[in-house]
Amino acid sequence: MTSNTPPTFLVQTEDDPVHVENSVFYYLALKNAKVPAEMHLFADGGHGYGLRESDQAVLSWPKRAEDWMRRLGVFDGKKP
């Protein structure tokens, strides 16, 4: 990983069978390389939540990602 690694937005749930520590370590490596990164951990949601409908908090991730991309200046919300 270098400072040329693209900005990264991470989302994971603690009850995902993939260990959450993988995301934590990756996030720390991004920060050490001075790569813009944001990470959101949610208590539950399992694996593969994507965009399915549910009342779980993890489904707020698309809006959080959109806000993050706006702050980076890579997304203005307008259709091409």
Q: What is the pLDDT of residues 28-59, one digit of tens each?
A: 999 999 999 999 999 988 887 777 777 888 98
pTM across the whole model:
0.85
What is the pLDDT, as a whole number, of residue 19?
92
Q: 40 to each of 4, 37, 78, 80, how far by Cα in Å?
A: 22, 10, 25, 28
Rounded Cα–Cα distance for residues 40 and 2 (Å): 22
Q: For residue 80, what pLDDT band results from cuts at 50, 70 and 90?
A: low
Question: What is the C-alpha R_g of the chain?
Answer: 14
